[in-house]
Amino acid sequence: MTEGGFDPASLVQSWPKPSKPRPIVTFGAGSIVGDAHFPAYRKAGFPIAGLYDPDQAKATTLADKWGVTAFRSVGEAAALQDAIFDLATPPGRHAEILKDLPDGAVALIQKPMGNYLGEATEILEICRAKNLKAAVNFQLRFAPMMLALKDAIAKGWLGEIVDFDAWLALATPWELWEFLLKAPRVEIAMHSIHYLDLIRQLLGDPKGVHAKTLGHPNHKVAQTRTSAILDYGDTVRCALSINHDHKFGRRHQACEFRICGTEGAAYLKLGLNLDYPRGEPDILEIHPKGGTDWIAVPLAGEWFPDAFVGRMANVQRFASGEDDELVSSVEDAWSTMALVEAAYRSSAAPATLIAERP
């Protein structure tokens, strides 16, 4: 126990495991599956039945590495009884896979929930029509540091949240995701969407957003830099400054959040994004209500792969009735997509003009 009664070891950092996990069938054989999904599921003891990818050679290579089945078609993969269907597919492919799942199936859909809000709405309607128990893989909510932060806020150690700053200055290897190199929407839709979703969980839905997202003259990726302000009225200030083109060595790179309340504050370093996918250790420090200094919270794991463990654990437990809430359900995730859409609309709109000198 520390000054003021704050005990960092008491903060919740993991999601309860399901008592009888169902087998997982994954659609997609991209880097995210080998780097995060499968390592997380194997670490947690979740059974991996197999995977399907239209690139059979790619699917077989990954399946052999993990000792699982490489299904030969979507239909074969979707036929497995009582499975959790894990869609690690590009956003434009989610809808067609969901249509092929059995009615009433349980699915975890990789973010984003479609390329545009219209696609997100189509996915939502498919899930409603087929009665799918579906969530979107906004796994940052389940990272040990974020679970601990949420618990600290819920216990009152920060007071009322009044400031949220996200600051990124780093070099992201976009070439790891080939489909992104020609995508029309990249930075907000594929990366900062994690932060927008987390902010929604912590602060609720904003009234609106001011944003500008753009590319860089040194490459052709559609957008890799974003500035955004979320409007929460006259009490809460929320700002994001994102630069994925800070390619000048590690010394002055950063990937961090600063969250201030009326009585305490939190600092987080998201180590994964620094030297992705190897990353650096995550950091959470809290200046608690009644305290006089910053206190490091010993973390029980990292964003990758531990957040994927918690994300799948909630899906599994909801399917079995052990959890009452499906976190980031398609109903809730649609609102994150609406915020993303609003940010792109803001970016495309003219800025407020400055008056000319008379």
Tens digit of each residue's pLDDT (9 = 90 or more) over 227-248:
999 999 999 999 999 999 999 9
Question: In this prediction, what percent of the chain has a pLDDT beyond 90?
Answer: 95
- The answer to whether 304 touches 146, Cβ cutoff 8 Å, is no
What crossing angle do the helices spanning 144-154 and 193-203 adopt, rounded to 10°? 20
SS3 for 82-118 is CCEEEECCCHHHHHHHHHHCCCCCEEEECCCCCCCHH
Residue 104, pLDDT score: 98
Tell me how far apart the alpha carbons of residues 328 and 331 are, in angstroms, rounded to a whole number.
8
Looking at this protein, which amino acid is placed at residue 153? I
Tens digit of each residue's pLDDT (9 = 90 or more) over 300-353:
999 999 999 999 999 999 999 999 999 999 999 999 999 999 999 999 999 999
Which residues in the chain are classed under CATH 3.30.360.10?
Answer: 143-299
Tens digit of each residue's pLDDT (9 = 90 or more) over 250-289:
999 999 999 999 999 999 999 999 998 889 999 999 999 9
- Please give the average per-residue pLDDT across 12-25, as a whole number: 98
Residue 315, pLDDT score: 98
86 Cβ neighbours under 8 A, 6+ residues apart: 24, 25, 26, 27, 37, 107, 108, 312
- Please give the average per-residue pLDDT across 61-82, as a whole number: 97
Residue 2, pLDDT score: 65
CATH 3.40.50.720 is right for the domain spanning 22-138+306-340 = yes
Tell me how far apart the alpha carbons of residues 305 and 40 are, in angstroms, rounded to a whole number.
5
Any idea how long the chain is?
A: 358
CATH 3.40.640.10 is right for the domain spanning 143-299 = no
Residue 277, pLDDT score: 85
- State the chain's mean pLDDT as an integer: 96
Torsion angle (degrees, nearest 10) of CA 243, 245, 251, 252:
-30
Tell me how far apart the alpha carbons of residues 101 and 296 are, in angstroms, rounded to a whole number.
45
Burial class (CB in 10 A: 0-12, 13-18, 19+), 322: middle
Which residues in the chain are classed under CATH 3.40.50.720?
Answer: 22-138+306-340
Residue 4, pLDDT score: 76
Using alpha carbons, list the distances in angstroms from residue 129 to 99, 256, 262. Answer: 10, 40, 45
